[in-house]
């Protein structure tokens, strides 16, 4: 694959690195647009060609931005859509209905051939993508509408840092019910401050606490509601640094932890428990300023960005489809992605 | 016209000028073959950091100014673009060649002649790395320009504490500025031997408030108005940016230009590789991730990631061969294809790509470039080893050695503090030949101005090419290190000096100035007396402190010279003052006390105390009785006592002799 | 501002106190101003401003790592106390400020002496004054309550209330100034501004203040020395308690001293008695604090081996001592210092350890899970050890212990015996202290600005800065005291064998 043909994905990577595309929702939308453009304007004739093109892009993003799973997940899902459409197009399977039995059997004969040209593929793909896009756009709202199912009156809810999804979720609940929110400030980025201000603007009684006070407060908390960066195949989380600690405290007091996750945050990858391998450390400046004097010469300062939260600490995932236990993630994954695409 | 220009500039692309040529031979012999721009910094050419920084900072067009090794640089840029390096996507890079330039100033004059720059631009001196968001600073500069038509440049500076390795000792900076960031005084203190800084009174009088900074380091980065280039063209004596700043500040009225400054904060970082020390500290800072996101594990400009970041800031490439018994201790980066054999320890070092390291090797604080072979039982500390070198077994390379590319060292070679290159230098003696692939180079004094004074020797030792552990370098600022190690770093927590101490300092200052400027002693006496009233100290303390001040002075004025000699010089010069204060017996007692106290804390005086006393006695400042009286009161167990004893013995004998003579 | 001052009496009053807190004003100073009319208040403000203007040629020294909190704050206060602006040249400052302080202290001493006499001679008037004050305070209370209520967390209303009381009675205290030795005004201010922080430091400061008190103490006529001293100590301590709730270490120390006062022989001259008391205080410092620390240090050193990675949290003078001692004994280990906002005490720990050449890493508490896997031991300090075996310590300690437990790492809590407490407590709510909320809204690690700065504009927003938390005993592997290395649950045993209980 020549570099010039990957210009679109290289630009996306560069935009993400420059911070032009920042939130995971933006990343998702941009990825979707990229694929849409590729399908409508790209040089491909058969489903196989298209899949090769997409896989090349996945590889590129995985090597350039290993901590960014959203674009890869979306492209993987689109691979699955292609497969399905191709299959239905040739009536391999009966109307593409997803029965459990069906899923299991279809995986066995994976030596499938996607090289036959299917003229209707392009248009039907674009239809599906449009549908997928509206799904993306409505995902946050869909999650938010479930808020009333999970928050009752006079609750104390704890959240960490800032997540647009969580913010909408809580605001939606606040329209009907009165409850309190405790926001953990999440040093050294202090996104929690912004979150607290946003919540209090919607007339929610908000308390900001430093990261150290989580354990002290947890015994009075009714629910922990957080967002996440990625949901991993085993139902564990790659979340902002500090969430593991919150989850441990919640577990100790048997406080349920709810994770609001869009479908595109589900990743089919298992990651080893060793944090070094999947974490990244940001600049230590936020922990200890560079101007601290000669002490800087002698000290190692770390500022990790992520935390791994094992699945047994998570009570519930809430996606736009509803709530699921972590043990159910594997099933969601098999609906989202084709097992053949897990390793690319 | 300027207004029109500015309107256009809003739509213009944001431009940067990188002068890639380093006009000096600081980095010889490594830079004999490779230009500074391609010097590997953590196994990535330096220029990649600069360009990626500019691109992430929001620059859209960069002019890369080269004078030598043009083809290598051009080729490198071309290759990077082919590999679609990060910066190539958002930024256009144009290489400008001008082989006739001999200085930084020449480059800018040449650029002016070419007329490529249309508006405000970012000016970079060679070897800059950073992660600053440039657009906000540019915007700030534009705002300043709107308010002040003469604004020519905004210097970008970063805060850094004294003693931090990231501060270049050559470039210790003192900055005086108004509260709205207009620079009034910009002085680099590092190389100057001056121990005082004069701030013109008008600076403080003319401005309602003035900030004086000594907590800044130069990032060598500046935002320039379009007027900077013509200013360079008009003033042919501007060779460097510092010349420019100095010239502009000096002739502010004539040139009608002002300079501003900007402090970067938070997670922003920038620095320039100007010498090996900075190379060392920048490497360390990058390993410690201050340059995030430009860190090895995230790829610098390439979109492929080679390194994994492990604990203790170890960066390991994916295909490194490490044996079970080898250990990477901390702050290490190891490039791909490198192999490390048994029982080898690597710490605080950079190892390039495809390096072969044998058994039982110790590598500490060193930089090993790609394709080098280091065989068993070698010791490499605080050194730089170029590309394609071969180090045979049991070599010892320590104390800031720099080995150029392709050097071969025979078995059991031991070198310390040497520059070695593989080609035979043209005008060197044969004695400097180690073998046909290793020639010693004459070590040039680090400071450009060669001077033979003791002080410079000390300075250059302090400014050895690479930073060696503090304990290895005898530092002359021991007095700053308090014995209570807890307080070593807490320089802001020193106790509030009491009046007497303040008085002493005042006296020392007055005398030092008096001696340097050859002032009349009478005037100095007046000055001392007036400070005496200001600090409300007793006559006794005055006597004591004046003597003490004189005894202290040699350490300030004649650093590194024989104490006694310089003291004698001072004593002679200040004798009118001594005459003024040491008038009676009690004053003599104070004087002796001062000598005693100073000698007890100070070795130099302790050694020659007898001679000093003798001088005082000869000149009749001290009488025999007072000395003997005082001598009988001091503790006979001290070394001080032993030193004074011969003198007093002599006195006693003389007295006996004279008294017997009388009879 | 003046108009506002007239309208809302109390608000200005509290504001003023907060201001003086920020500026670290010498307490005795601010009292005086508060006693005088509001006019002089505003005058004082302008005074400050003129000073500042004169001082504007400020020299920025390179900022070091968190200069020891106490000193900088004191120095700050000194700069601002300067009365004569014309003397405000940089060198002149220290002199003028010392004089001003001296004057203030002298004044206060004089007042104190007068008051002492008045208490001793007649206790009735004092009581009556108090009653009057209470009456005064009641109507004000409700009013202020309304204005402050909006920034409170309802769970902690009982803790806020104390703070409010404190502010009110502080004012009354300054009016009647009943027998508090000036040393305690200074100390109280240092406690309140958190210049003196940490239970050992606070206790030591208290004991040395007691010593000053004893030295300066004159037995009022017709009174017994010990009795009247005990009374005076009581008054002083209750004053301190209003500045900042006493630490357990302090309560215990006060109790011990009062006990010895009641048990002492009264048939001695006052001078002998003084000597006796001073000796006993010195012995308390020596035995219960210093020697205890040494014993603990020795015990823990046995447990530290070469190659260990020891994690610690915040600043504890005892932990620092242990680590430095162990390092001096040629033990080669690494230390990971965890820290948390808003106090960032860990920086002080880091600075001291680095000065002793101990290799250190520094992280914020949220990265605890990031480092915990490579840690071999966790050493934590304590504010107090509760009777049910729970450990009360700086907020965050429980969390570190929790994470350590999740990674199955041993957690050792080091605590001198004199910090043991009979209270039993299972959560961090009932008995705690609320720190300065403003501190949460300022970010001190980087020059980043946060939207929280304007938190007072949002009526439903309440930053909460808890000072302590309680670590359940099952998260602690062992407690190291000078007597033995024990499981947490053995605390009541120690409490029982403690002498004099």
- CATH number assigned to the domain comprising residue A319: 3.40.50.10470
Instruction: Tell me the C-alpha distance between C307 and C239, whole Å.
Output: 48
Confidence category of residue C99, pLDDT binned at 50, 70, 90: low
Q: For chain C, give the number of residues.
A: 501
Summarize pLDDT for C47-59 with one digit per residue, the tens: 333 333 333 334 4
Summarize pLDDT for C240-249 with one digit per residue, the tens: 888 888 888 9
Smallest Cβ–Cβ distance between C452 and the set A188, A197, A275 belongs to: A197
Q: What pLDDT score was predicted for residue C113?
A: 53
Q: What pLDDT score was predicted for residue B627?
A: 82
Give the ipTM of the model, two decimals please. Answer: 0.89
Q: What pLDDT score was predicted for residue C435?
A: 83
Q: What pLDDT score was predicted for residue C446?
A: 57
| Chain A residue numbers touching B303 (CB-CB < 8 A) | 10, 13, 60, 63-64
C22 pLDDT higher than 60: no
Q: What pLDDT score was predicted for residue B618?
A: 83
Q: What is the mean pLDDT of residues B110-135?
A: 88
| Domain edge (last residue) among A139, A159, A174 | A139
Instruction: Tell me the C-alpha distance between B41 and B273, whole Å.
Output: 10
Nearest to B369 by CA among B406, B331, B412, B410: B406
Å from A219 to nearest chain C CA? 8
Sign of the Cα torsion B489, B490, B492, B495 reads negative
Q: Is C459 helix (H, G, I), strand (E, B) or coil?
A: coil
User: In this structure, is residue A210 part of a structural domain?
Assistant: yes
Smallest Cβ–Cβ distance between C402 and the set A185, A186, A252 belongs to: A252
Beta carbons of A299 and C64 less than 8 Å apart:
no
Beta carbons of B490 and C68 less than 8 Å apart:
yes
CB of C17 closer than 8 Å to CB of C50: no
Instruction: Tell me the C-alpha distance between C157 and C151, whole Å.
Output: 11
Nearest to C409 by CA among C307, C478, C360, C468: C478
A255 and A174 inside one domain: yes
Q: What pLDDT score was predicted for residue C391?
A: 92
* C68/B contact by beta carbon, under 8 A: yes
Task: For helices C124-149 and C90-121, give the axis angle rounded to 10 degrees.
Answer: 130
Sign of the Cα torsion B97, B98, B102, B104 reads negative
Confidence category of residue B32, pLDDT binned at 50, 70, 90: confident
| Domain edge (last residue) among A139, A173, A195 | A139
B507 pLDDT higher than 90: no
Q: What pLDDT score was predicted for residue B496?
A: 41
CB of B261 closer than 8 Å to CB of B156: yes
Confidence category of residue A226, pLDDT binned at 50, 70, 90: very high
Q: What pLDDT score was predicted for residue C102?
A: 58
Number of other residues whose CB lies within 10 A of the CB of residue C111: 18
Q: What is the mean pLDDT of residues A286-315?
A: 89
Summarize pLDDT for A72-90 with one digit per residue, the tens: 999 999 999 888 888 887 7
Confidence category of residue C300, pLDDT binned at 50, 70, 90: very high
A150 and A241 inside one domain: yes
Higher pLDDT, C21 or A313: A313
User: In this structure, is residue A342 part of a structural domain?
Assistant: no
CB of B295 closer than 8 Å to CB of A285: no
Q: What pLDDT score was predicted for residue A242?
A: 92
A126 and A270 inside one domain: no
Cα–chain center distance at B70: 30
Confidence category of residue C78, pLDDT binned at 50, 70, 90: very low
Instruction: Tell me the C-alpha distance between A193 and A171, whole Å.
Output: 16
Q: What pLDDT score was predicted for residue C170?
A: 57
| Chain B residue numbers touching A71 (CB-CB < 8 A) | none
Beta carbons of B269 and A10 less than 8 Å apart:
no
Strand order, beta sheet including C360-364: A299-301, C360-364, C334-339, C309-313, C377-380, C411-414, C478-480, C485-486
Give me the numbers of helices (H) and strands (E) for chain B, helices first please.
21, 36
CATH number, domain of A13, equals: 1.20.120.420
User: In this structure, is residue A304 part of a structural domain?
Assistant: yes
Structure-token pair, residue C56: 């504007």
Supply the mean pLDDT for chain B.
Answer: 79
Lowest mean pLDDT among B423-427, C67-71, C317-321, C442-446: C67-71
**Domains along chain B with CATH numbers:** 2-150+219-277 (3.90.550.10), 306-425+433-441 (2.160.10.10), 445-479 (no CATH), 499-662 (1.25.40.180)
* A254/B contact by beta carbon, under 8 A: no
Lowest mean pLDDT among B313-327, B590-604, C271-285: B590-604
Q: What is the mean pLDDT of residues A140-167?
A: 92
Q: Scanning the structure block, which residue is given the tokens 């047994």?
A: A312
Summarize pLDDT for B51-66 with one digit per residue, the tens: 999 988 889 899 998 8
A183 and A306 inside one domain: yes
Number of other residues whose CB lies within 10 A of the CB of residue B162: 15
CB of B166 closer than 8 Å to CB of B281: yes
Q: Cα C300–C301–C303 angle (5° rounding)?
A: 70
CB of A276 closer than 8 Å to CB of B311: yes
User: In this structure, is residue C281 part of a structural domain?
Assistant: no
Q: What pLDDT score was predicted for residue A165?
A: 93
Nearest to A154 by CA among B272, B47, C122, C154: C154
Q: What pLDDT score was predicted for residue A338?
A: 86
A206 and A294 inside one domain: yes
A286 and A208 inside one domain: yes
| Domain edge (last residue) among A114, A139, A164 | A139
A246 and A168 inside one domain: yes
The terminus-to-terminus CA distance of chain B in angstroms comes to 102
Q: Which residues contact B237 (CB under 8 A, 6 or more apart)?
A: B243, B247
| Percentage of residues of chain A with pLDDT beyond 90 | 45
Kindly state the DSSP code that residue A117 receives in the 8-state scheme. Answer: B
CB of A224 closer than 8 Å to CB of A258: yes
| Percentage of residues of chain C with pLDDT beyond 90 | 26
| Chain C residue numbers touching B490 (CB-CB < 8 A) | 64, 67-68, 351
A187 pLDDT higher than 90: no
| Percentage of residues of chain B with pLDDT beyond 70 | 86
B74 pLDDT higher than 80: yes
CB of B69 closer than 8 Å to CB of B193: no
Reduced 3-state DSSP string for B621-655 = CCCHHHHHHHHHHCCCCCHHHHHHHHHHHHHHHHH
B536 pLDDT higher than 80: no
Q: Which residues contact C123 (CB under 8 A, 6 or more apart)?
A: none
* A274/B contact by beta carbon, under 8 A: no
Lowest mean pLDDT among B125-129, B342-346, B629-633: B629-633
Lowest mean pLDDT among B254-258, C39-43, C292-296, C328-332: C39-43
Q: What pLDDT score was predicted for residue C14?
A: 35
The total number of structural domains in chain A stands at 2
Chain C residue with Cα closest to B265: C447
Q: What pLDDT score was predicted for residue A257?
A: 95
Summarize pLDDT for B303-313 with one digit per residue, the tens: 677 788 888 88
Instruction: Tell me the C-alpha distance between C144 and A217, whole Å.
Output: 27
HSE of C313, CA atoms in CB hemisphere, 13 A: 33
CATH number, domain of C403, equals: 3.40.50.10470
Cα–chain center distance at B175: 16
Torsion angles phi and psi, residue A343, rounded to 5: -105, 120
Instruction: Tell me the C-alpha distance between B544 and C274, whole Å.
Output: 40
Higher pLDDT, B658 or B644: B644
Instruction: Tell me the C-alpha distance between A314 and A225, whole Å.
Output: 10
The total number of structural domains in chain C stands at 1
A128 and A150 inside one domain: no
A89 and A158 inside one domain: no
User: In this structure, is residue A343 part of a structural domain?
Assistant: no
* A11/B contact by beta carbon, under 8 A: yes
C309 pLDDT higher than 90: yes
User: In this structure, is residue A189 part of a structural domain?
Assistant: yes
CB of A258 closer than 8 Å to CB of A283: no
Q: Which residues contact C454 (CB under 8 A, 6 or more apart)?
A: none
Q: What is the mean pLDDT of residues C167-179?
A: 57
Beta carbons of A292 and C64 less than 8 Å apart:
yes
Q: What is the pTM of this model?
A: 0.76
User: In this structure, is residue C413 part of a structural domain?
Assistant: yes
The terminus-to-terminus CA distance of chain C in angstroms comes to 54
Supply the mean pLDDT for chain C.
Answer: 72
Range(s) of the domain holding residue C490: 304-497
User: Contact partners of C by the rule of 3+ C-beta pairs under 8 A?
Assistant: A, B
Confidence category of residue B565, pLDDT binned at 50, 70, 90: confident
C207 pLDDT higher than 70: yes
| Chain B residue numbers touching C352 (CB-CB < 8 A) | 486
Beta carbons of B289 and A297 less than 8 Å apart:
no
Q: What pLDDT score was predicted for residue B511?
A: 82
Smallest Cβ–Cβ distance between A304 and the set C370, C394, C427 belongs to: C370
Range(s) of the domain holding residue A206: 146-335
Sign of the Cα torsion C68, C73, C79, C82 reads negative
Chain C residue with Cα closest to B215: C62
Interface test with A, best of B88, B89, B299, B302 (most A CBs within 10 A): B89
Instruction: Tell me the C-alpha distance between C475 and C399, whole Å.
Output: 10
Instruction: Tell me the C-alpha distance between C348 and C370, whole Å.
Output: 22
Q: Which residues contact B419 (CB under 8 A, 6 or more apart)?
A: B28, B29, B401, B402, B404, B440, B441, B442, B443
B452 pLDDT higher than 60: no
Residue B175, phi-psi category: left (phi > 0), alpha (psi -120 to 50), beta (remainder): beta
A178 and A130 inside one domain: no
Instruction: Tell me the C-alpha distance between C164 and A193, whole Å.
Output: 26
C429 pLDDT higher than 80: yes
Residue B331, phi-psi category: left (phi > 0), alpha (psi -120 to 50), beta (remainder): left
Task: For helices C157-176 and C27-35, give the axis angle rounded to 10 degrees.
Answer: 70
- Parallel/antiparallel/unpaired status of strands A306-309 and A237-240: antiparallel
CB of A285 closer than 8 Å to CB of B273: no
CB of B214 closer than 8 Å to CB of B177: no
C29 pLDDT higher than 60: no
Q: What is the mean pLDDT of residues A102-126?
A: 70
Q: What pLDDT score was predicted for residue B449?
A: 38
- Report the C-alpha dihedral over residues A324, A330, A335, A339, rounded to 10 degrees: 170
Q: What pLDDT score was predicted for residue C349?
A: 93
User: In this structure, is residue C73 part of a structural domain?
Assistant: no
A119 pLDDT higher than 70: yes
Strand order, beta sheet including C391-394: C384-385, C391-394, C468-471
Higher pLDDT, A260 or C150: A260
* A119/B contact by beta carbon, under 8 A: no
Instruction: Tell me the C-alpha distance between C348 and C195, whole Å.
Output: 13
User: ω into residue B289 within 30 of 0, thus cis?
Assistant: no
* A22/B contact by beta carbon, under 8 A: no
* B290/A contact by beta carbon, under 8 A: yes
CA distance readout (Å), B129 to A59, A275, B91, B272, C67: 29, 29, 17, 6, 30
Beta carbons of B297 and A60 less than 8 Å apart:
no
Å from B60 to nearest chain C CA? 27
A217 and A297 inside one domain: yes
A239 and A107 inside one domain: no
User: In this structure, is residue C370 part of a structural domain?
Assistant: yes
Summarize pLDDT for B200-244 with one digit per residue, the tens: 888 888 888 889 888 888 888 999 998 888 888 888 888 888 888
User: ω into residue B297 within 30 of 0, thus cis?
Assistant: no
């Amino acid at each position: 694959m020549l570099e010039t043909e990957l210009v679109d994905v290289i630009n996306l990577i560069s935009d993400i690195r420059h911070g032009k595309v920042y939130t995971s929702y933006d990343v998702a939308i941009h990825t979707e647009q990229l694929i849409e453009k590729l399908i409508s304007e790209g040089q491909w004739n058969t489903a196989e060609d298209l899949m090769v093109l997409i896989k090349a892009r996945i590889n590129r993003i995985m090597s350039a931005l290993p901590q960014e799973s959203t674009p890869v997940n979306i492209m993987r899902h689109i691979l699955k859509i292609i497969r399905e459409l191709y299959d239905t197009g040739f009536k391999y399977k009966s109307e593409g209905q997803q029965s459990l039995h069906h899923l299991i059997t279809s995986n066995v004969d994976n030596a499938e051939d996607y090289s036959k040209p299917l003229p209707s593929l392009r248009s039907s793909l674009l239809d599906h993508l449009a549908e997928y896009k509206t799904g993306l756009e409505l995902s946050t709202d869909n999650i938010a509408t479930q808020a009333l199912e999970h928050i009752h009156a006079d609750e104390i809810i704890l959240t960490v840092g800032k997540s647009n999804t969580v913010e909408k979720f809580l605001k939606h609940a606040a329209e009907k019910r009165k409850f309190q929110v405790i926001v953990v400030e999440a040093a050294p980025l202090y996104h929690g401050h912004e979150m607290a201000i946003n919540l209090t603007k919607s007339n929610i009684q908000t308390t900001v606490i430093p990261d150290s006070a989580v354990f002290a407060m947890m015994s009075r908390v009714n629910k922990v509601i957080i967002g996440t960066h990625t949901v991993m195949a085993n139902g564990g989380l790659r979340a902002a640094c500090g969430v593991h600690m919150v989850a441990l405290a919640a577990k100790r007091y048997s406080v349920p932890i709810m994770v609001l996750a869009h479908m595109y945050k589900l990743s089919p990858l298992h990651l080893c428990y060793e944090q070094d391998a999947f974490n990244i450390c940001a600049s230590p400046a936020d922990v200890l300023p560079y101007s601290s004097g000669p002490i800087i010469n002698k000290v190692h300062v770390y500022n990790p960005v992520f935390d791994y939260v094992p699945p047994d600490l998570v009570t519930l995932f809430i996606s736009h489809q509803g709530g699921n236990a972590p043990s159910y993630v594997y099933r969601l994954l098999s609906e989202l992605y084709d097992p053949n695409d897990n390793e690319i | 016209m300027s207004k029109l220009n500015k309107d256009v500039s809003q739509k213009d692309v944001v431009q940067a000028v990188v002068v890639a040529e380093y006009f000096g031979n600081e980095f010889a012999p490594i830079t004999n073959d490779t230009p500074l721009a391609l010097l590997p910094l953590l196994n990535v050419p330096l220029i990649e950091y600069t360009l990626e920084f500019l691109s992430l900072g929001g620059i859209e067009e960069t002019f890369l100014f080269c004078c030598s090794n043009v083809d290598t640089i051009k080729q490198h840029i071309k290759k990077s673009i082919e590999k679609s390096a990060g910066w190539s996507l958002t930024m256009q890079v144009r290489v400008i060649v001008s082989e006739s330039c001999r200085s930084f100033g020449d480059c800018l004059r040449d650029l002016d002649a070419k007329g490529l720059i249309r508006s405000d631009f970012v000016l970079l001196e060679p070897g800059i790395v950073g992660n600053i968001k440039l657009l906000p600073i540019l915007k700030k500069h534009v705002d300043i320009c709107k308010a002040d038509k003469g604004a020519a440049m905004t210097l970008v500076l970063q805060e850094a504490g004294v003693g931090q390795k990231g501060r270049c000792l050559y470039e210790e900076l003192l900055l005086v500025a108004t509260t709205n960031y207009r620079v009034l005084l910009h002085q680099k203190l590092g190389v100057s031997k001056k121990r005082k800084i004069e701030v013109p009174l008008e600076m403080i009088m003319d401005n309602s408030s003035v900030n004086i900074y000594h907590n800044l380091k130069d990032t060598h980065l500046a935002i320039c108005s379009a007027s900077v280039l013509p200013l360079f063209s008009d003033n042919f004596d501007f060779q460097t940016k510092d010349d420019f700043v100095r010239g502009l500040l000096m002739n502010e009225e004539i040139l009608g230009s002002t300079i501003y400054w900007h402090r970067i904060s938070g997670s922003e970082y920038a620095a320039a590789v100007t010498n090996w020390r900075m190379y060392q500290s920048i490497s360390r800072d990058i390993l410690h991730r201050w340059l995030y996101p430009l860190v090895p594990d995230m790829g610098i400009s390439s979109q492929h990631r080679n390194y994994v970041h492990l604990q203790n800031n170890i960066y390991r490439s994916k295909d490194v061969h490490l044996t079970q018994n080898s250990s990477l201790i901390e702050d290490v980066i190891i490039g791909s294809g490198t192999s490390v054999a048994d029982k080898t320890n690597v710490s605080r070092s950079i190892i390039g790509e495809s390096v072969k390291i044998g058994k039982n090797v110790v590598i500490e604080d060193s930089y090993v470039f790609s394709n080098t072979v280091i065989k068993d039982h070698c010791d490499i500390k605080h050194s730089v080893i170029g590309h394609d070198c071969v180090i045979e077994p049991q070599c010892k390379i320590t104390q800031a050695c720099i080995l150029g590319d392709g050097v071969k060292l025979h078995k059991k070679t031991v070198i310390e503090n040497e520059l070695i290159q593989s080609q035979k230098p043209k005008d060197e003696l044969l004695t400097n030949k180690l073998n046909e692939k290793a020639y010693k180079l004459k070590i040039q004094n680090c400071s450009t101005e060669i001077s033979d004074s003791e002080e410079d020797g000390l300075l250059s030792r302090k400014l050895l090419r690479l930073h060696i552990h503090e304990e290895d370098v005898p530092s002359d600022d021991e007095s700053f290190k308090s014995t209570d190690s807890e307080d070593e770093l807490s320089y802001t927590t020193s106790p509030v000096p009491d009046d007497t101490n303040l008085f002493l300092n005042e006296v020392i200052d007055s005398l030092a100035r008096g001696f340097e400027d050859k002032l009349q002693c009478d005037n100095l006496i007046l000055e001392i007396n007036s400070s005496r009233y200001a600090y409300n100290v007793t006559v006794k303390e005055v006597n004591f402190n004046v003597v003490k001040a004189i005894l202290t002075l040699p350490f300030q004025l004649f650093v590194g010279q024989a104490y006694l000699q310089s003291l004698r010089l001072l004593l002679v010069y200040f004798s009118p003052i001594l005459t003024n204060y040491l008038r009676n017996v009690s004053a003599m007692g104070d004087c002796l006390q001062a000598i005693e106290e100073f000698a007890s804390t100070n070795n130099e005086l302790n050694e020659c105390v007898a001679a000093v006393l003798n001088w005082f006695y000869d000149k009749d400042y001290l009488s025999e009785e007072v000395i003997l009286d005082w001598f009988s009161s001091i503790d006979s167990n001290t070394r001080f006592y032993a030193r004074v004893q011969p003198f007093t013995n002599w006195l006693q004998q003389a007295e006996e002799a004279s008294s017997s003579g009388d009879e | 501002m003046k108009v506002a001052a007239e309208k809302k009496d109390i608000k200005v009053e509290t504001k003023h106190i907060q201001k003086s807190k920020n500026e670290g004003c010498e307490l005795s100073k601010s009292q005086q101003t508060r006693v005088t009319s509001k006019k002089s208040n505003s005058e004082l403000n302008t005074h400050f401003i003129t000073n500042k203007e004169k001082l504007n040629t400020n020299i920025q020294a390179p900022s070091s790592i968190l200069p020891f909190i106490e000193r900088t704050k004191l120095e700050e206060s000194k700069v601002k106390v300067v009365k004569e602006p014309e003397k405000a040249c940089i060198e002149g400052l220290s002199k003028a400020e010392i004089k001003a302080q001296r004057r203030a202290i002298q004044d206060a001493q004089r007042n104190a002496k007068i008051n002492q006499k008045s208490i001793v001679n007649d206790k009735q008037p004092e009581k009556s004054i108090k009653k009057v004050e209470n009456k005064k305070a009641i109507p004000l209370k409700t009013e202020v309550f309304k204005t402050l209520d909006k920034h409170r967390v309802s769970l902690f209303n009982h803790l806020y209330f104390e703070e409010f009381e404190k502010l009110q009675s502080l004012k009354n205290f300054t009016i009647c100034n009943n027998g508090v030795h000036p040393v305690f005004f200074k100390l109280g201010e240092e406690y309140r501004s958190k210049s003196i922080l940490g239970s050992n430091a606070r206790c030591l400061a208290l004991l040395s203040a007691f010593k000053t008190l004893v030295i300066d103490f004159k037995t009022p006529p017709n009174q017994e020395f010990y009795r009247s001293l005990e009374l005076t100590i009581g008054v002083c301590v209750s004053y301190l308690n209003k500045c900042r709730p006493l630490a357990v270490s302090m309560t215990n120390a006060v109790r011990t001293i009062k006990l010895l006062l009641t048990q002492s022989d009264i048939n001695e001259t006052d001078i002998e008695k003084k000597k006796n008391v001073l000796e006993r205080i010195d012995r308390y410092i020596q035995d219960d604090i210093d020697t205890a620390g040494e014993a603990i240090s020795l015990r823990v050193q046995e447990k530290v081996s070469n190659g260990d990675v020891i994690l610690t949290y915040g600043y504890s003078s005892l932990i620092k001592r242990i680590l430095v001692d162990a390092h001096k004994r040629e033990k080669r280990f690494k230390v990971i210092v965890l820290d948390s906002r808003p106090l960032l005490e860990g920086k002080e720990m880091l600075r001291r350890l680095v000065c002793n050449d101990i290799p250190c890493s520094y992280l914020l508490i949220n990265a605890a899970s990031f480092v915990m896997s490579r840690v071999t031991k966790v050493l934590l300090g304590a504010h107090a050890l509760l009777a049910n075996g729970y450990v009360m310590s700086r907020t965050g300690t429980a969390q570190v212990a929790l994470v350590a437990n999740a990674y199955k790492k041993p957690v050792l809590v080091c605590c001198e015996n004199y910090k043991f407490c009979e209270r039993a407590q299972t959560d961090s709510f009932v008995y705690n202290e609320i720190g300065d909320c403003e501190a949460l809204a300022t970010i001190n690690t980087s020059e980043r600005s946060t939207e929280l700065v304007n938190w007072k504009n949002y009526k439903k927003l309440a930053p909460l800065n808890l000072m302590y938390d309680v670590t359940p005993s099952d998260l602690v592997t062992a407690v190291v005291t000078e007597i033995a290395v024990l499981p947490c649950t053995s605390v009541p045993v120690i409490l029982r064998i403690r002498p004099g209980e």
